[in-house]
């Protein structure tokens, strides 16, 4: 596995729509493993392929859904060609940051629940129901595949003060 460089704004790849993955081969698995390692090293809770300069529809997310339990094990999600196929009516405003937009955070209104359909690393269909922060992370990462950055959706953006917690995708 290799750590990949995380590209930052204004890199053009972050503004382009990513291409559908059609080959489920060794190269894709190497890319997935590299993305997982890069996300963990950053550290972040999610990473989209365009964030490492690869314009493909691929995301990785690692998040512990049980926010109340500090010992909860994070779950790893690898989704190829993800798409949001269902959303809740309810939305909630939350603070987001991004590995590709260092030094800024913003308030973004997101759906509280989403259903994501895609494929696993072997090309088999998968469906994920996510709520709360996990739903927010999926929406944030899938936005990257459309060339959308959280600052595009934010109602306000600011530079956090030293010591403030910074959520990062």
**Whole-angstrom distance, CA of residue 168 vs CA of residue 71:** 20
- The strand pairing partners of 58, in sequence order, are 80
Fold of 12-158: Peptide Deformylase (3.90.45)
pTM reported for the whole predicted model: 0.93
* 154-158: strand order across its sheet: 91-97, 105-111, 154-158
Give residue-wise pLDDT tens across range 97-128.
Answer: 999 999 999 999 999 999 999 999 999 999 99
**CA 146, 61, 31: angle at the middle one, nearest 5?**
75
Q: Where are the domains of the chain?
A: 12-158
Percent of the chain with pLDDT over 90: 88
**What burial letters (b/e) apply to 40-68, b meaning 16+ CB within 10 Å?**
bebebbbbbbbbbebbbbbbbbbbeeeee
Distance of CA 164 to the CA centre of its chain: 21
| pLDDT recorded at residue 68 | 64
| Residue from 5, 37, 141, 146 carrying the catalytic annotation | 141
- Closest Cα to residue 47, out of 29, 35, 57? 35
Give residue-wise pLDDT tens across range 26-71.
Answer: 999 999 999 999 999 999 999 999 999 999 999 999 998 776 667 7
What tokens were used for 93? 């405003």
Give catalytic status of residue 141 as yes or no. Answer: yes
DSSP-derived letter for residue 113 is E
Computed over every residue of the chain, the mean pLDDT equals 94
């Amino acid at each position: 596995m290799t750590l990949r460089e995380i590209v930052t704004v204004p890199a053009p790849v972050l503004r382009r729509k990513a291409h559908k993955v059609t080959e489920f081969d060794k190269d894709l698995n190497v890319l997935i493993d590299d993305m997982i390692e890069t996300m963990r090293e950053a550290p972040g809770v999610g990473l989209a392929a365009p964030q490492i300069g690869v314009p493909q529809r691929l995301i990785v997310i690692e998040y512990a859904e049980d926010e109340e339990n500090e010992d909860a094990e994070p779950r790893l999600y690898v989704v190829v060609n993800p798409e949001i196929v269902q959303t809740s009516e309810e939305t909630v405003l939350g603070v987001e940051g991004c590995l590709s937009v260092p030094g800024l955070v913003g308030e973004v209104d997101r759906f509280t629940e989403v259903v994501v359909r895609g494929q696993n690393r072997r090309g088999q269909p998968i469906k994920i129901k996510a709520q709360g922060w996990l739903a927010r992370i999926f929406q944030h990462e899938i936005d990257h595949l459309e060339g959308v950055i959280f600052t595009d959706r934010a109602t306000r953006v600011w530079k956090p003060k030293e010591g403030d917690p910074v959520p990062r995708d």
